[in-house]
């Protein structure tokens, strides 16, 4: 085993897949010789050259459209869209082309492409560089949406995404880039569409995404001292969602809290809550509670941003509420 951070895990995944498959190419702003704005492609240009590491103009619209064409004609492009806030610029390529082409041609055309992007707040990057827009992408049939947390999951899920024959949006939380974790030396993948149970419990299920899953885990460990047993599930892939794993957990605990950093209204949490209500309503002993950001844009001011992003205290309050301990 070796210990590396999420940024290095992404770099390793890209290098290994570029070595494994000559059809894999990476494109984006400054991903070539500069090594990427967050050094995620550092060293790859020197190893694979400009054909495999393509610096593009500052035109997110053309990047994704170019990737769709490249995917249709046999390449496996990885497109880096620096921040998820820029997805408004790529929506035609993502929604009308990447999401629909395989369906329109009855599966005869494959679209093996990955869009990597940074998501999440917490670094005072302001309202135009801090959004969590995964719900936009989840609403598009044909698009897979992956939100990893630990370096092990990041590397394994990115490799699985690159090998998938469908378009994948791969959201990397910028606040987790320097998070370290253990990785095996040998090749491995983490399958898409499978949730991970970060902690088993029997009193309440907490489904938490990315950074929220780590906060939920801290809260769960604290509440163990108070006699409240919390099961923490991180979906990792939010489309397709591992609903069976969540429903199985809720049937065991009878309670559900959902935590994510995106705004509460119309979010992934609403979909999870409704799906559980449809599948396991008779098992619920309390209403489902969501912990999420307010229906507003991310503030730039550090104090306001901290107030905006859900914190451990918010998750703890929600858990105690559903457990009747508030």
Active-site residues: which are they?
Answer: 60, 129
Query: Are 81 and 87 spatial neighbours (Cβ–Cβ below 8 Å)?
Result: yes
Angle (deg, nearest 10), helices 243-253 and 268-280: 60
Phi, psi of 93 (to 5 degrees): -65, -40
Phi, psi of 127 (to 5 degrees): -65, -20
Q: What is the spatial distance between Cα 152 and Cα 179, in angstroms, rounded to a whole number?
A: 11
SS3 label, residue 37: coil
Phi, psi of 322 (to 5 degrees): -70, -25
Q: What is the spatial distance between Cα 28 and Cα 59, in angstroms, rounded to a whole number?
A: 9
Q: What is the spatial distance between Cα 300 and Cα 281, in angstroms, rounded to a whole number?
A: 40
Q: Name the helix (H) or strand (E) containing 291.
A: strand 289-293
Query: Are 262 and 137 spatial neighbours (Cβ–Cβ below 8 Å)?
Result: no
Of 264, 300, 294, which Cα lies nearest the Cα of 121? 300
As to burial, measured by CB atoms within 10 angstroms (0-12 exposed, 13-18 middle, 19+ buried), residue 115 is buried
Report DSSP letters for 199-238, one per residue.
E--SSEEEEE-THHHHHHHHHHHHHHTTT--EEEEE-SEE
């Amino acid at each position: 085993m070796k210990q590396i951070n999420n940024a290095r895990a992404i770099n390793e995944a890209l290098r290994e897949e570029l070595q494994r498959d000559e059809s894999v190419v990476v494109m984006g702003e400054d991903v070539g010789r500069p090594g990427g704005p967050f050094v995620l492609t550092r060293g790859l240009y020197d190893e694979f050259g400009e054909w495999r590491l393509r610096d593009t103009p500052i035109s997110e619209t053309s990047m994704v459209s170019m990737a769709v064409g490249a995917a249709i004609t046999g390449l496996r492009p990885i497109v880096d869209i620096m921040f998820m806030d820029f997805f408004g610029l790529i929506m035609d390529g993502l929604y009308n082309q990447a999401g629909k082409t395989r369906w329109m041609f009855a599966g005869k055309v494959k679209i093996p492409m990955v869009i990597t992007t940074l998501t999440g707040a917490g670094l005072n990057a302001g309202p135009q560089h801090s959004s969590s827009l995964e719900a936009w992408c989840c609403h598009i049939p044909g698009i897979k949406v992956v939100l990893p947390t630990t370096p092990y999951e990041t590397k394994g899920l990115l490799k699985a995404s690159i090998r998938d024959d469908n378009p994948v949006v791969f959201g990397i939380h910028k606040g987790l880039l320097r998070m370290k974790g253990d990785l095996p030396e040998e090749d491995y993948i983490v399958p898409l569409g499978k949730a991970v149970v970060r902690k088993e419990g029997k009193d309440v299920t907490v489904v938490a995404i990315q950074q929220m899953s780590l906060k939920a885990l801290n809260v769960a460990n604290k509440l163990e001292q108070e006699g409240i047993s919390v099961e923490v599930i991180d979906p990792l892939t939010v489309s397709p969602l591992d609903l069976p794993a969540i429903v199985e957990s809720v049937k065991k605990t009878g309670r559900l809290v959902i935590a994510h950093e995106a705004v509460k209204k119309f979010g992934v949490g609403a979909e999870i809550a409704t799906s559980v209500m449809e599948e396991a309503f008779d098992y619920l002993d309390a209403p489902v509670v969501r912990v999420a950001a307010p229906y507003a844009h991310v503030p730039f001011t550090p104090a306001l941003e901290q107030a905006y992003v859900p914190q451990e205290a918010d998750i703890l309050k929600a858990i105690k509420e559903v457990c009747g301990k508030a």
